[in-house]
Structure 1
């Protein structure tokens, strides 16, 4: 069980399930630093499987299967939205199918009535409180494992070793979870810790599919239009609160094919609301390297929750698009590009988020419970089918 707002360390223990092909399962409790190989052995023992050519696999709601490497840590937090862990012999990999619970809510499980009873500002406020807590949990973790790599003086330095030395020279004494995420494919000693960042990334996906799910579950045109208006207003209030990540995640959900094709629903929106959506959607424009987004964020003062997909994209491009060594010398320009993203994140958290709640229409506990336990459909195929049912193609 992964609790939102709880800060994770390598030694933090989490409880999770590992399933077999017939959907039977065992429940395990391991620290996040436990490698997948250890989890696999323990699950095999509990489920009575013969140790041998077994694989630990994530099965997504789409049916996609991802084999988890034996050395991977943060296995439970690293699952995608609605993903589930399975164990299987290599030859039976094709027999793994998603669990029913991975499919998300059914037609009768929409929360439109609850959303109608809560003001958009109140929803945005508690969404931002929850997201800020998760954002704050993405902590600088000790660069000790990288320092051990350097101390080992291996004949061929890895990028991680070079990175550690370069960042110390530039005044960074810690390696952040963001860096470990970018270095996921690298050989690192120790147990790279990305648990808090994993939870935040999954939260971003959750907000995106939340909007799409609730709108597709509404079979009545007027209710569907009212929900769309509600989500646009929630995104606008999130933007006012500095929750750029939440605002753009919701906008991305409203821009998915399943929602953008609902012409009758969009036509019922007031012109003013459509204009608000257009302005928010403009911030997701990828042209000129997300220029509109960067110019907008550059005008904001902390506290701010930046849009995590762009932050990770920047760091990944800085890492993969630049050589680490130039003529056997460290490419400090690359290190500065990576450090720039870290400084930006640090600047966003330079001040704490302390804004009083707006007038309440529901109890704080009720609204907070709702925004921290969203149930969504993250399978594009299912969302498209639902969209076709509520507004058939002419």
Structure 2
């Protein structure tokens, strides 16, 4: 696994801008667009020739939320595909937008608008649900594509409008495409026919009682590292075969469970099953490593499906946790609370259908279930209108009939073969809905919900004083920012014994407020809350409440300033608020003695922020100067020196702020080169992957891969860029590595910026980017060192050392480095070195047990090692991050067995 933060964000297809007309596109532009479109879900099944024509005639559109593309009854003029965002499909009985009902939502990868082929009116209104990116093709161009590429498009587009419940004319996948079940058969064959010494331990002959079963297998209890990395991995691989089904239990009584049951391949059920020839054995032996790797990748998904096939009453706590973790990633459930998701995990039923065209339910039938699509797609069909939209993986349907206790508003037809669903039956759905409403508290103002709270178990133990904590607490589900702030202030407990619980609640709010309440909104709200006096009660009660409220606001401000630290120095609104707030508290402290104990801490934080000087110059290349390596976070205003390369791999060094945009980088490069007309900035990895950066991208130097480079070149020379191949032992990776990368507290907030999109906050995530890159650097350092070691005995010693280092990292709570080393050892270039692993299995077990039993002592003297040498080595790790190069080196060390 190679962590690449740039993969988390959709690359906009700027070349499709309406200002950049198709007739003006050069062949290089079309190639760039083609490369980008191949990565978009909507076009992953399109034939290359068809996709190339779309690149010539398509328009890119970026629409804000609430934009209506067309209305029901309009004559269509364009076909669309969703690249990013989502759109609502609305249908009205009277063709009036006022009584239109949303019947489904179109997500990424959805295509719609085929009615332009026969000029029939639109059967629904399409409105953007959020800011969305679309590919648009005009009617004349789309008709031309249909006439020329009908054989490719027939199975990829929704059936024609006005013909409900149509059976698909052309399979969604070409006949020669291997589906998952066919691949599983192929894996089974490779494993079954492999020579016994090479076969995994779980796939060797076993005996049961007095009867010997040919190739009866158990799940791996002692696998070799080159095949199986652990019990759980082995247990996950076998379900992939049993679900086919082609790996039945010998006694025919159980599904796959564990090592106490025997299994055999389906072909061996027949007594006359032919034995493989020598040629087939040789061919399967060559495929065995790839087979086990692919089974490892498919295993978790198969394990999940196996758990879901269990009746709800037979699911263990581990099973429920597996299902819950899967539900966290389903788009249709993202708005539900944790409590609801855990209840759903206990009642969800797995349902699968093999054939496209199957009708799940018909319009007008009674609603009995709610469905979520795990795999595949379905068409939503309305009588008299035909297919109104298509739903894909992650979408849900069928909920409206259950909520309103009304007949189904549409029919659902499978659009492709082998579709998987999660189903919630009506009884369970209604019970969960009742529980949710019973545990929900709503605060309304002017008939609008301004605060919605959900009651959940508190999970607190009895306090030291013997007074038990409340067994229930309320979590915020939604609300206006002001009401959420008011609620959190009310929950702050001022008693010293409850500080720990209060700090936890405050941390949640302080860390996440930037998502829904930025500082420009938070600071005025705190100013309004500080002098707040209730309108009811006696004078003494009003004074007590006002005093406690002031203390709560001060407590929140102190925790807020402590968490954000010097980040607030860049925020003029926050600094002005802190100064004004300090003056107000100082004035009140003269009359209210209870405020005096909090005043010194507030004064200390303010002075630190006012007089702290933070100016750092970072360097992309290592100069050996350790004085620049200070333990402090990188800020957007810091400056960085880094290299921008030209086509011939010469470079120019520029100095810009960390948060500089690509446009600013181009300006600096143009000043150095003397000319910048028509230049673009390209990010290229050591594997040759090229990405053209957009002008508004920021903090570009931190998003580079380990041995990646930035290139400045004319657009027409984009295809001429080639990577510089890695040589022998590699030189220094020339990457910035401040020691601050090991301190998680340096990017607590950057993780939030990254999760919700840093473009929403206009903040840099430089520290997090470098932390992720350091993870990759350690991971590939392990693989590089092992693949560069040509002597088997030294490789064995090297493996032992890496395992010891990983054990120390775990003991010392350095989990980032621990997981990086473990993933490096799991890399296919290392795990395939069977001869090396076989020589050190026993020793490794003893070493690991010893390391786990002995606490790590960071102060222990190091024999024969200079501390400065160790620091310099760690700071300048030699790394090859090109997986192709590493695999070639691995095969040179241990070629495939004859």
Q: What TM bracket, shorter-length normalisation? A: 0.5 to 0.7
Deviation at 1:40, TM superposition (A): 1.2
Work out the CA distance in 2 between the residues paired with 1:242 and 1:207: 16
Deviations 1:22-71 (A, max 9, x none): 1121100111121111101221332234423x221111100110122211
Q: Is the 8 A contact 1:58 1:85 kept in 2?
A: yes
CA distance in 1, matches of 2:731, 2:846: 31
Cα offset, 1:250, TM superposition: 0.5
Residue 276 of structure 1, CA deviation: 7.0
What's 2:728 paired with? 106
Equivalent residue in structure 1 for 2:810, among 233, 239, 248: 239
Q: Where do 5+ consecutive residues of structure 1 fail to align?
A: 111-129, 141-174, 281-353
Of 635, 642, 646, the match for 1:20? 646
Q: Match for residue 373 of structure 1?
A: 876
**Preserved CA contact (<8 Å) 1:36 1:75:** yes
1:264 aligns with 2:823: no
Relative to structure 1, the CA distance from residue 187 to residue 375 in structure 2 (aligned partners, 3 Å threshold; closer, same or farther) is same
1:360 Cα deviation (Å)?
A: 1.2
8 Å Cα contact 1:251-1:277 kept in structure 2: no
Match of 2:860 among 351, 358, 363: 358
* Distance in 2 (alpha carbons) for counterparts of 1:234 and 1:356: 12
Asked if structure 2 preserves the Cα contact closer than 8 Å seen for 1:6 and 1:137, the reply is no
Q: CA separation in 2, counterparts of 1:138 and 1:94? A: 42
> Where does residue 755 of structure 2 map in the other structure?
182
2:888 corresponds in structure 1 to 385
* Pair 1:222–1:272, CA change in 2 (3 A): closer
Structure with higher strand content: 2
- Give the aligned partner of residue 669 of structure 2: 43
After superposition, where does 1:210-229 map in structure 2 within 5 Å? 210-229=781-800
- Cα distance in 2 for partners of 1:84, 1:355 equals 39
SS in 1 for 2:760: coil
Distance in 1 (alpha carbons) for counterparts of 2:804 and 2:785: 15
1:223 to partner: Cα distance? 0.7
Superposed counterparts of 1:148-187, under 5 Å? 176-184=749-757, 187=759
Counterpart-to-counterpart distance in 1, 2:858 and 2:729: 36
CA contact 1:6–1:134 (8 Å) conserved in 2:
no
* Structure-2 change in CA distance of 1:207 and 1:187 (3 Å): closer
Shift of 1:181: 1.8
Contact 1:60 1:82 in 2 (8 A): yes
For 1:47 and 1:83, locate their aligned partners in 2 and report how far apart those are by CA, in whole Å.
21
Unmatched runs of 5 consecutive residues or more in structure 2: 1-618, 621-627
Q: Which residue of 1 aligns with 2:691?
A: 66
Cα shift at 1:271: 1.6
Contact 1:135 1:200 in 2 (8 A): yes
Q: Is the 8 A contact 1:41 1:51 kept in 2?
A: no
8 Å CA contact retained: 1:236, 1:276 = no
Is the Cα contact below 8 Å between 1:137 and 1:196 reproduced in 2? no
Q: Distance in 2 between matches of 1:35 and 1:375?
A: 30
1:32 aligns with 2:658: yes
Alignment partner, residue 158 of structure 2: none
Closer, same or farther in 2 for the Cα pair 1:50/1:183, shift >3 Å? same
Contact kept? 2:730, 2:879, Cα under 8 Å? no
**What SS does the corresponding residue of 2:836 show, helix, strand or coil?**
helix
- What's 2:720 paired with? 95
Is the aligned partner of 1:78 residue 2:703? yes
| Residue pair 2:686, 2:882 contacting (<8 A) in 1 also | yes
Give the whole-Å Cα distance in 1 for the aligned partners of 2:776 and 2:670.
31
1:182 offset after TM fit, Å?
A: 2.3
Q: Structure 2: how far apart are the matches of 1:17 and 1:63?
A: 18
Q: 1:221 to 1:23 in 2, by over 3 A?
A: same
SS at match of 1:77: helix
8 A contact 2:729–2:878 mirrored in 1:
no
**Deviation (angstroms), 1:274:** 4.7
- For residues 206-355 of structure 1, the aligned pairs below 5 Å read 206-274=777-845
Equivalent residues in 2 for 1:114-125 (5 A)?
Answer: none
CA drift at 1:136: 2.1
Sort the Cα spacing of 1:178 and 1:384 in 2 relative to 1 into closer, same or farther, 3 A: same
Q: What CA distance in whole angstroms lies between the structure 2 residues aligned with 1:244 and 1:393?
A: 34
Deviations 1:214-251 (A, max 9, x none): 00001111011111111111111110110111011001
Aligned equivalents of 1:268 and 1:369: distance in 2? 32
2:819 match: secondary structure: helix
Query: Is the contact between residue 131 and residue 246 of structure 1 (CA under 8 Å) also seen in structure 2?
Result: no
Equivalent pairs counted in the alignment come to 261
Could you say what secondary structure the match of 1:88 adopts?
strand
Partner Cα separation in structure 1 for residue 681 and residue 745 of structure 2: 26
Q: Secondary structure at the match of 2:635?
A: coil
1:198 alignment partner in structure 2: 769
Q: Does 1:134 align with 2:741?
A: yes
What is the distance in 2 between the residues matched to 1:356 and 1:256? Answer: 29
Q: Which has the larger radius of gyration?
A: 2
1:139, 1:69 → 2: CA distance?
A: 27
Instruction: Say which SS state the counterpart of residue 188 (structure 1) adopts.
Output: helix
